[in-house]
Amino acid sequence: MKITGVEMRTIRMPLKSPFETSFGVEAERVAVLLRVLGSVARPDRRPVDVQGWGECVAMEAPLYSSEYADGAADVLRRFLVPRLLGHVKDTGDVTAEQIDGLLAPIIGHRMAKAALEMAVLDAQLRGIGQSFAGYLGATRQRVPSGVSVGIQPSVTALLEVVGDYLAQGYARIKLKIKPGWDVTPVQAVREHFGGLIPLQVDANAAYTLADARTLARLDAFDLLLIEQPLAEDDIRQHAELARLIRTPICLDESVVSVRAAADVIALRAAQVINIKAGRVGGYLNARRIHDLCRANGIPVWCGGMVETGLGRAANAALAALPGFTLPGDVSASDRFYEQDITAPFVLEDGEIIVPTGPGLGVEPIMGVLDSFTVTTEWLEQG
Ligand code: OSB
Ligand code: MG
């Protein structure tokens, strides 16, 4: 496609209730959104105007990973978008498939890169009338929906929240844990709701190998997996931990690239991998990791980053690929938001319907998007 310019917004969306993890509490989702404007040549070579949307999953503060919203906006404004526009100026156009290579000289900043690739891919697919799901190779029309349950003020409060999600039909419960909030809440949920509910936990890197005995106590509760118990760069230590506990280990934060995924598999540091497009630099790398895991018999599931309807649409498409054999964190919009910026995703029998329209298959309701927008800037070839 040809690109005329990129609109970059920062939005702030209130969460229905504060979301607490081992790394902090969020009451609002701050995110950077991109709108790429340009044109795509149709088969008859006539150009049609297109736009595409990208969502950057970096959070307000660098607590989940090193990226954060204002940092992502800065690197997009000063380095990533200018590189993209420079390429378009030099060669006449760009494809989504070229972006990873084009941006490779800029080190890191994968969430920012992923947002730009997502926006170009959306525009490109809208131009040819193909859906994200069709493009990525989805094999299902609906995906089972899991829910991530934040750390609660008390076990009583936790049981109420989990009971409510189960009543809504969620297909799997994930409890956020941290030292001091682990064995007791997990035991309480198992005792209250029984051994049959699909249950897993996510530590967001809050433990060290010295906590192996505590983590081994979770073996009693028949969990599907424990997600990212140790630090992002503790890949080898996760392999050690895997020998000390029976619960399967799933890695999230550690899997920052296709190469990291290959290391995790070779070192047997995880039996399961959580795939998040933002964390690995885009939906194309996400698909590559899916393919690698599938070839190696490693089950994967689609993680979430409290996305708006835009990122949620892309995640639903990704989660519909055949290797995604565990329910993902692709919940209904109303899990986090009273009002989403797109038509809301809803649960139907514990599943989310994968959009089928061109590109993401959803678009922002502009009045709603504008109401959450705190800054807007226009980036074009200088
Ligand atoms: O570790 O999976 C995580 C949210 C923000 C940052 C990291 C994580 C999460 C979640 C929520 O668990 C997943 C969702 O969007 O539903
Ligand atoms: Mg996680």
pLDDT digits (tens, 9 = 90+) for 307-339: 999 999 999 999 999 999 999 999 999 999 999
Cβ–ligand 1 contact at 26 (below 6 Å): no
What is the structure's pLDDT at 259?
98
Q: Which ligand is nearest to the CA of 336?
A: 1
Tell me what the mean pLDDT of segment 53-62 comes to.
Answer: 98
User: How much distance in Å is there from the Cα of 11 to the middle of ligand 2?
Assistant: 23
Tell me what the mean pLDDT of segment 300-305 comes to.
Answer: 98
Tell me what the mean pLDDT of segment 159-182 comes to.
Answer: 98
Cβ–ligand 1 contact at 329 (below 6 Å): yes
pLDDT band at 234 (very low <50, low <70, confident <90, very high): very high
Q: What are the strands of the beta sheet with 146-149, ordered from one edge?
A: 146-149, 172-176, 199-202, 226-227, 249-251, 272-275, 300-302
The atom number, within ligand 1, closest to the CA of 276 reads 2
Cβ–ligand 1 contact at 144 (below 6 Å): no
Element (H, E) at 290: helix 283-295
206 pLDDT above the threshold of 90: yes
What is the structure's pLDDT at 41?
87
Separation between Cα atoms, residue 117 and residue 54, nearest integer Å = 7
75 pLDDT above the threshold of 90: yes
What is the structure's pLDDT at 43?
78
Q: Which residue type is seen at 320?
A: A
175-198 confidence digits (pLDDT tens): 999 999 999 999 999 999 999 999
pLDDT band at 34 (very low <50, low <70, confident <90, very high): very high
pTM of the model: 0.98
pLDDT band at 254 (very low <50, low <70, confident <90, very high): very high
45 pLDDT above the threshold of 90: no
CB 373 within 8 A of CB 34: no
Q: In this structure, which residue's CA is closest to atom 4 in ligand 1? A: 305
Tell me what the mean pLDDT of segment 68-84 comes to.
Answer: 98
Q: Which residue type is seen at 376?
A: T
210-229 confidence digits (pLDDT tens): 999 999 999 999 999 999 99
Q: In this structure, which residue's CA is closest to atom 13 in ligand 1? A: 304
Separation between Cα atoms, residue 238 and residue 249, nearest integer Å = 8
382 pLDDT above the threshold of 90: no
User: How much distance in Å is there from the Cα of 325 to the middle of ligand 2?
Assistant: 17
What is the structure's pLDDT at 357?
98
Separation between Cα atoms, residue 22 and residue 32, nearest integer Å = 24
Q: In this structure, which residue's CA is closest to atom 12 in ligand 1? A: 148
Cβ–ligand 1 contact at 122 (below 6 Å): no
Tell me what the mean pLDDT of segment 265-282 comes to.
Answer: 98
Cβ–ligand 1 contact at 247 (below 6 Å): no
What is the structure's pLDDT at 151?
98
What is the structure's pLDDT at 52?
98
Q: Which ligand is nearest to the CA of 329?
A: 1
Cβ–ligand 1 contact at 333 (below 6 Å): no
What is the structure's pLDDT at 35?
98
Q: What is the CATH number of domain 2-129+364-380?
A: 3.30.390.10
Cβ–ligand 1 contact at 202 (below 6 Å): yes
What is the structure's pLDDT at 42?
82
Q: Where are the domains of the chain?
A: 2-129+364-380, 134-353
Average pLDDT over the chain, rounded to whole?
A: 97
DSSP 8-state secondary structure symbol assigned to residue 248: P
DSSP 49-74: EEEEEEEE---SSTTSSS--HHHHHH
Catalytic residues: 176, 276
User: How much distance in Å is there from the Cα of 307 to the middle of ligand 1?
Assistant: 9
The topology (CATH level 3) of 134-353 is: TIM Barrel (3.20.20)
pLDDT band at 355 (very low <50, low <70, confident <90, very high): very high
Distances in whole angstroms, Cα of residue 272 to Cα of each of 63, 137, 166, 210, 249: 23, 21, 24, 22, 6
Q: What is the dihedral of CA 322, 327, 331, 335, to 10 degrees?
A: -170
* Ligand 1 site-directed mutation target among 168, 227, 305, most atoms within 8 Å of CB: 305
What is the structure's pLDDT at 44?
83
Tell me what the mean pLDDT of segment 162-180 comes to.
Answer: 98
* Ligand 1 site-directed mutation target among 15, 20, 21, most atoms within 8 Å of CB: 21
77-108 confidence digits (pLDDT tens): 999 999 999 999 999 999 999 999 999 999 99
Cα distance between the two ends of the chain: 19
